[in-house]
């Protein structure tokens, strides 16, 4: 088991209820495709905590990079405002 924490770039508060909902759906897809089981997902305004379990064939870095790559890509695709808020110089508003 691994406890993984992802922080938003520049600690910007971009994790909204909508982002949290999409994140959880993305994690279900990751579980279906990879041998990664999400035991807990906790989202705050500027960071996300995952408690994951996986097979020994996956190294911790493989697990981390897989989750980060897929979740970021899918969230930016579903809610482009998140990417703009992080790297476009805009401000995130609730």
pLDDT tens per residue, range 37-46: 999 999 888 8
Greatest alpha-carbon pair distance for the chain in Å reads 42
Count the residues in the chain.
94
Domain count, the chain: 1
The answer to whether residue 92 is domain-embedded is: no
> Is there a domain that residue 22 lies in?
yes
CA dihedral 39, 81, 47, 91 (to 10 degrees): -160
pLDDT 10s digits, 42-84: 988 889 999 999 999 999 999 999 999 999 899 989 988 888 7
Q: Which of 49, 46, 50 is nearest to 82 (CA)?
A: 46
Distance (Å, rounded) from C-alpha 30 to C-alpha 73? 13
Q: Is 79 within a domain?
A: yes
Domain of 59: which CATH number?
3.30.70.1290
Distance between CA atoms of residues 35 and 75, nearest Å = 21
Range of the domain at 31: 2-87
């Amino acid at each position: 088991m691994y406890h993984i924490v992802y922080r938003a770039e520049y600690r910007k508060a971009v994790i909204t209820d909508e982002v949290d909902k999409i994140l959880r759906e993305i994690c279900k897809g990751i579980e279906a495709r990879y041998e990664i089981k999400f035991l807990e997902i906790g989202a705050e305004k500027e960071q996300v905590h995952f408690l994951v379990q996986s097979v020994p064939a996956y190294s911790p870095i493989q697990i981390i990079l897989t989750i980060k790559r897929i979740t970021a890509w899918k969230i930016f695709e579903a809610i482009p405002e998140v990417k703009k808020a992080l790297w476009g110089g805009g401000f995130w508003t609730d």
